[in-house]
């Protein structure tokens, strides 16, 4: 199975919490997780994904490797989002998406009504 990890934005804590609650109830796109973090560090990213493989039956080593590869290959993007998070203030989270490729494709197709 292949995985993807990306930073998707900065969100107010309450808005992110509400989004997670709604998604938890729907569970339409199994295999796509949105994670909120207060800090933008590799350690924080890795800690945030450690519980996800258990939920979906994913390979933890591959998931962690995906996060590390993102970190190594996207220093400009990471710097940008780190600055955005800092500018947004303490009541905001950095939001990242972790997904298996097939589930993410299904989510995108549903957004475009291609199912």
Mean pLDDT of 19-26: 69
Alpha helices in 1-115 (DSSP H): 13-26, 42-49, 52-56, 60-73, 75-88, 101-111
Q: Whole-angstrom Cα distance, residue 85 to residue 9?
A: 9
Whether the pLDDT of residue 114 is over 90: the answer is no
This prediction has a pTM of: 0.83
Please report the pLDDT score of residue 88 as a whole number. 95
Mean pLDDT of 18-35: 72
Please report the pLDDT score of residue 32 as a whole number. 86
Q: Are 4 and 99 in contact (CB under 8 A)?
A: yes
Mean pLDDT of 58-79: 95
Tokens of 112: 């475009």
Whether the pLDDT of residue 68 is over 50: the answer is yes
Mean pLDDT of 35-54: 90
Please report the pLDDT score of residue 115 as a whole number. 46
Count other C-beta atoms under 10 Å from residue 22's C-beta.
Answer: 9
Q: Are 70 and 6 in contact (CB under 8 A)?
A: yes
């Amino acid at each position: 199975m292949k995985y993807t990890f990306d930073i998707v934005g900065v969100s107010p804590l309450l808005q992110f919490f509400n989004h997670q609650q709604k998604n938890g109830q729907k569970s339409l796109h199994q295999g796509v997780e949105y994670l909120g973090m207060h800090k933008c560090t590799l350690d924080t990213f890795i800690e945030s994904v450690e519980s996800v493989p258990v939920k979906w039956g994913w390979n933890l080593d591959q998931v962690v490797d995906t996060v590390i590869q993102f970190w190594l290959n996207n220093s400009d993007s990471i710097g940008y989002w780190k600055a955005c998070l800092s500018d947004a203030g303490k009541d905001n989270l950095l939001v990242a998406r972790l997904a298996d490729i097939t589930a993410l494709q299904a989510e995108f197709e549903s957004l475009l009504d291609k199912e």
